[in-house]
Amino acid sequence: MDVIVNRCIDEISQNYEGVCDCATPNSSNCFDCFQKQFFDGNEIKYKCDEKINIYVARYFPVHVKEIFESLKMLPEDFYESLFNLKDINIMNIGGGPGSDSFAVKKFLIEKELTGEIQDEKKVYILRIDKETNWDDMAGFVNERIKSTEHIEFISKKSSFDVGIEKKWSLSNRKYNIFTISYLLSEIDNSKISILSKFINSYASNVVCGLIINDNNRLKVHQLKQSLFQNILCKIHNEAEDSTRHHCGFFYKDEDRDLINPKLSTNSIRFSKVITL
């Protein structure tokens, strides 16, 4: 993780003077531009390297920690069933720079080290994001964790908007874990039925779990509830957690002062086991 975060910090420009094709209105520098996009109805977009580098430097460690903790919430019998499979399929919806994939790999390697994974596994991880500007960073992130003695990681990406059904362009592969991180807070209720249908279409009928990680706000709780009401399946072992954890990454003082990183988890995390 050090290599990822430090590369992004090193590449952040501090010379921007507010003139840029994708600048947020009334911003004075890259950090101001990045922060102001979340307010006053501004468009949230990552169409320049500066925003991507700031995002990863500021949020990557804590987002990895949030997904890692979310995966721990799924029950033991879920993982007993999952690890009986030879091939495990995982989908990151709204995967951005690859923090979900990184967390999944880290979690499974820990399971291998504790002896819970002993047989050879192929783990297929699909990152879906409509924004192709994340691809180079996600590719760099993906290379940081390699396959192990028992786990062959196969990472793929697909670029389309899950909320537009006619753009779905996947094979018939069925998935055992879905992660949805910081997506519900960026969509409205009109997209929920389509997202539910998407999950129904690609969920495994053998073993399947769903992870949601997002802002702990009323909107997210409401959309989460609507999502599960629309999914055509039975829901078991529901869990919810908002415990705060340190991200586990320690910034140099000068880097911390520069980028103002998010150091502790403050998201709401939901895990569900679903049966079609």
Strand partners, 122: 87, 152
Determine the 3-state secondary structure of 23 from DSSP.
Answer: coil
How confident is the model at residue 167, as a pLDDT? 82
Task: Please tell me the distance from the alpha carbon of residue 131 to that of residue 96, in angstroms, as a whole number.
Answer: 8
The DSSP 8-state label assigned to residue 117 in this structure reads: -
How confident is the model at residue 215, as a pLDDT? 94
Residue owning tokens 């109805």: 41
E-strand stretches of the chain? 87-93, 121-128, 151-158, 177-181, 209-215, 234-241, 267-275
Where the chain has pLDDT below 70, the residues are 14-19
Q: What are phi and psi of 211, to 5 degrees?
A: -115, 130
Structure tokens at 261: 């990183």
How confident is the model at residue 164, as a pLDDT? 87
Q: Is 113 exposed, middle or buried (0-12, 13-18, 19+ CB in 10 A)?
A: exposed
E-strand stretches of 208-266? 209-215, 234-241
How confident is the model at residue 157, as a pLDDT? 95
Tell me if the pTM is above 0.85.
yes
Task: Please tell me the distance from the alpha carbon of residue 67 to that of residue 79, in angstroms, as a whole number.
Answer: 16
Task: Please tell me the distance from the alpha carbon of residue 250 to that of residue 237, in angstroms, as a whole number.
Answer: 34
Domains and their CATH numbers in the chain: 59-275 (3.40.50.150)
How confident is the model at residue 15, as a pLDDT? 65
pLDDT digits 0-9 by tens, 220-264: 999 999 998 888 778 788 899 999 999 999 999 999 999 999 999
Task: Please tell me the distance from the alpha carbon of residue 124 to that of residue 90, in angstroms, as a whole number.
Answer: 6
Structure tokens at 209: 């779990």
Angle at 30 between CA 40 and CA 135, to 5 degrees: 95
Q: Is 7 exposed, middle or buried (0-12, 13-18, 19+ CB in 10 A)?
A: middle
Determine the 3-state secondary structure of 45 from DSSP.
Answer: coil
- Specify the amino acid at residue 102: F
Residue pair 216/249 in contact by the 8 Å Cβ criterion: no
Angle at 55 between CA 51 and CA 56, to 5 degrees: 120
How confident is the model at residue 17, as a pLDDT? 60
